[in-house]
Amino acid sequence: MGHKSEVLQRYLTEKGVDYHPGRMGWQKVSCFSDDGHPNGDRNPSASVNLVTGHYHCFGCELAGDVYDLVMELESLTYPEAKKRLGDEGSASAPPMEPTWL
């Protein structure tokens, strides 16, 4: 469990979902994305895995790892998502943002 799991855990908490994972750490959950489910996701069609940091919704396109999820839900670029997840990277640090933008 690391920082990525904490971010997923926070999404779960926001949805009012307790994490009681079944097989292999997967937990059924209503989709985190409101865009993908304009009328709400009343029959939980998504699964989240705090062990591996993965997410998969069977009702909309939202699936992938925690980076994909953060990028989609918070409209972030990949470097922004990495920063959000506290992963500054090491080998290939992104260039400094220009301060005049």
Site residues, Zn ion (CB under 5 A): 31, 33, 36, 57, 59-60, 62
The residue length of the chain stands at: 101
Q: How far is the CB of 55 from Zn ion (least distance, A)?
A: 9
Cβ nearer to Zn ion, comparing 61 with 88:
61
Give the 3-state secondary structure of residue 12.
helix
Q: How far is the CB of 91 from Zn ion (least distance, A)?
A: 34
Cβ nearer to Zn ion, comparing 29 with 85:
29
CA gap 20, 35 in Å, rounded: 26
CA gap 76, 64 in Å, rounded: 15
